[in-house]
Amino acid sequence: MNRVAIAGAGPAGLTCAIYLARAGWKVDVYANDENTESSLVEADLVENYPGFPDGEQGFLLLNRMIKQAQKCGACIHPEGVAKVLTDERKVVDTVGNAYVYDEYVEAIGCKRREFECPGIDLLPVHTCAICDGTLYGKNDKVVVIGGGDTAISSALYLSNIVGQVTVLVRKPQCRCTNQLALNALVGKSNAEIMYETTLNTVTKDGLGKPILHIGKANYYADFMLLGISSVFVCIGSEPNTIEHIGNGKVWRCGDCVEEHKQIAIAVGSGAKTALDIIGSCR
Ligand code: NDP
């Protein structure tokens, strides 16, 4: 029986697992460390994945995929992959066990880009509105940095929880593809989008309260936001990486290689990789 190790238990890794398990492969999916846990758990209502006309919560959709992969025979390990000896096709997991496979797939998604700004530690900084938004309430004002789909959907989500949301977009326009979400945000009385604006520095007043200095990037003449409870940084992501030793074959699928970070694309990417693997072994 052919054996495959898949690093990553998001839509791409799980779809790849479903296809290979159904083709008779022994499939081990490595999950649950910072590289391999799916960011889909952070998604609020997913409304653009076909088959769910009323939308579906991200973590529920992911749970369905995990269940389906397990039902097909894939084994989901509660460890991540620490490194891969690609010439020997050996995977070393995060607790130090090493296993040999016929094929190795990386579906390890992306990590959030960090935002650098002097003084930003003077107030709480979050990267996930779904995870941390409920720490705040109607008496809070929050700032969202970024103009992509994550920033706009996060701001929309937060606008239902907090008193005021201010979105700082560094360009004259947003990059987001979800016009419905952008329209909905613009229609909110407690949300404001400030274009060509970013957070340049944070200082504190005499009482130790943060003062957010905003303006054009690196621009001296700024203006200030006061009374802000926290900042949500949503400025995109970079592919995760796992250490490779050797020059052996590594298959890749999903957000770590696809330009468009969409669940439907990750699913297709996982399926294609599985079929390519099966084809290459004939
Ligand atoms: P994106 O890369 O699409 O957008 C990042 C945003 O952050 C851009 O507005 C970018 O500005 C801005 N930015 C980057 N660096 C900085 C910085 N240092 N300071 C200030 N602003 C900065 O990332 P997303 O996470 O929003 O989206 C990633 C992918 O996931 C996209 O393909 C998106 O479509 C998808 N996605 C889809 C969702 C959906 O509902 N369909 C939901 C969430 C994500 P600039 O434009 O100037 O580079």
204, 260: one domain:
no
Query: By the 8 A CB rule, do 147 and 176 touch?
Result: yes
23, 70: one domain:
yes
38, 131: one domain:
no
160, 93: one domain:
no
Which pLDDT does position 55 carry in this prediction? 93
10, 146: one domain:
no
107, 159: one domain:
no
> How many domains, in total, are found in the chain?
2
Ligand 1, residues at Cβ distance < 6 Å: 48, 113, 115, 145-151, 153, 170-171, 175, 177-178, 198, 234-237, 260-261
- Mutate which of 149, 193, 200 for ligand 1 pocket (most atoms within 8 A of beta carbon): 149
Q: Taking 70 as the threshold, does the pLDDT of residue 34 lie above it? A: no
56, 97: one domain:
yes
Amino acid letter for position 17:
A
204, 218: one domain:
yes
Q: Mean pLDDT over residues 100-112, rounded?
A: 95
197, 245: one domain:
no
pTM: 0.83
187, 262: one domain:
no
DSSP 126-173: ES-HHHHGGG--TT-EEEEE--SHHHHHHHHHHHTTSSEEEEE-SSSS
Q: Which domain holds residue 126?
A: 114-233
pLDDT digits (tens, 9 = 90+) for 53-99: 999 999 999 999 999 999 999 999 989 999 999 999 999 999 999 99
